[in-house]
Amino acid sequence: MRVIAGTYRSRILTAPKGTETRPTSDRLRETLFNVLSPRLEGCRFIDLYAGTGAVGIEAISRGAAHVWFSENGPAAITALRTNLAALKITRGFTLEDRGTGALLQRLGKLGQLIDLLYLDPPYEAEAEYEATLNFLGSARGRAALSPDALVIAEHSSKSKLSARYGSLHHTRTKKQGEAALSFFAYPEEAKDPVEQE
């Protein structure tokens, strides 16, 4: 596993032994960042269920202004911290080691709107996908993301996520082997800050 491009291009990243953590493959990260590349410079990026931090580190390498990582697995946190230290990344990131729920609760208090949000829970954790995407599609979640924000969920290519979670709408899917990336956005009619009662 390595950083694909940018400041830390070709640098090796470590992952915990065993199958508890499933890092996003180099090939899938390359596909993801090819899509995101026009939006990366100076963006505010969240890497939920960050694992080794490979996705968020790739965002930093390619010019993100700040990346928030959420992860609460001890082995994954150790790998994430090791990767940041090995690359000498000392600023431009925040690590929430209490996990995704804790970071989502803090979203409105981060002080800036989020441009890109990536989530990669365990593929079998359907409840995690549902809860996280429903929160992001709610008024509270939407208020913390920029109007043209993108939310990207990595999931098994055999499973299909819903077309809509509140005001968050599915826009496209890119499949690659056993993995898929589903992209969500707030359509124009959902960007009006005035909530309908």
pLDDT by residue (tens digit) across 166-191? 999 999 999 999 999 999 999 875 44
pLDDT at residue 133 in the model: 97
What's the pTM value of the predicted model, to 2 decimals? Answer: 0.91
pLDDT at residue 20 in the model: 64
33's tokens: 């960042």
80 in Cβ contact with 47 (< 8 Å): no
d(CA 44, CA 33): 15
d(CA 152, CA 40): 14
In the chain the domains, ranked by start, together with CATH numbers, are 26-190 (3.40.50.150)
157 in Cβ contact with 179 (< 8 Å): yes
pLDDT by residue (tens digit) across 83-136? 999 999 999 999 999 999 999 999 988 888 999 999 999 999 999 999 999 999
